[in-house]
Structure 1
């Protein structure tokens, strides 16, 4: 189990800007790591109402289940349990599994594990590189019939991180266009598809 505060800044970029950043930072194909995210909520969207998100993330053989709780505009409390392939398959099939840390946090919101179901999957090809004391992230995500691109900056200090990220955008001629979290973009696409 791990628990930490995540401080990140996100900006939507175009495909051309994404490709330009890969070139500017000399990113090699083997540096692009695929992540598969499966999102969960209750049928009444209780987690969404609480500004929380629950996902299973697969990166190669590593699988983790993370509950993200919004604590401020750029901060989230992340609670993670590492799980097996069998546990992931059970959860994706709608069965309850024992997640010591995540279950404990869900209980605080009175959300039993057996009320959760997977409502979709989003895949991201991600590049992470150290940058100015933090982590710079280039993401290409695809889900439903959508493709989008974003740059993120993860930091330990919100004030300093904001300044570093703003300077980065200016230096790379990227217009500030704050990105919604991936789960929000996924839900908007899902709702548009239903509508």
Structure 2
């Protein structure tokens, strides 16, 4: 089990803007890594109601269970590495979750038995170092939808915000607030616009 604070800025892109950034930063197609995010919540969306999200990410034959919780600046992420077999058993039956992650959820008033796997979002992701942080280009596919997104992961909120705004301005990319991936999946699946 590992915890870290994630600070990032996000912006939705058009396909043309995505391609411009890709070419400017010399990102080749073979530098994009495929990953799948499998999301969980209760039927009453108890995690969403607490500004939290739970997922299993599959990437390069690794399986990671992650709980994201909103904090003042950014997100607190708790990660647990899983075997392929354990990940599959949780996907088939979230009640199979155990250990510290199960305890963390219980502290939030959520029993593993209440959880269900409600959707998967696949992403092709490339990242390059930029201005003391990490610039991420994402092309995501879910529920017959495709979208493009720019993320900037930083360690310093103010400096990162300044660098991100300058980058958007220099490419004449309008600021388009980007809900996180789980919220975009919710919005598409349930027909609700939740861009908060």
Query: Normalized against structure 2, the TM-score is what?
Result: 0.94
The Cα offsets for residues 59-116 of structure 1, whole Å up to 9 and x where unpaired, read as 02111000000113x5000000000111111111124334433223212112111211
Bigger CA drift: 88-97 or 170-179? 88-97
Equivalences for residues 25-174 of structure 1 within 5 A = 25-72=25-72, 74-174=73-173
Q: 1:129-161 deviations in whole A, cap 9, x for unaligned?
A: 111110000000010011100100000111111
With the length of structure 1 as denominator, give the TM-score of the two structures: 0.94
Shift of 1:43: 1.1
Asked if structure 1 preserves the Cα contact closer than 8 Å seen for 2:90 and 2:97, the reply is: no
- The aligned counterpart of 2:4 is 4
Runs of at least 5 residues in structure 1 that lack an aligned partner in the other structure? none
Check conservation: 1:80, 1:101, Cα contact below 8 A: no
How far, CA to CA, are the matches of 1:102 and 1:20 in structure 2? 40
Output the CA distance in 2 between the equivalents of 1:97 and 1:134: 37
Number of corresponding residues:
192
Pairwise CA RMSD: 1.3
Instruction: Note the residue ranges of structure 2 that are not aligned, 5 or more in a row.
Output: none
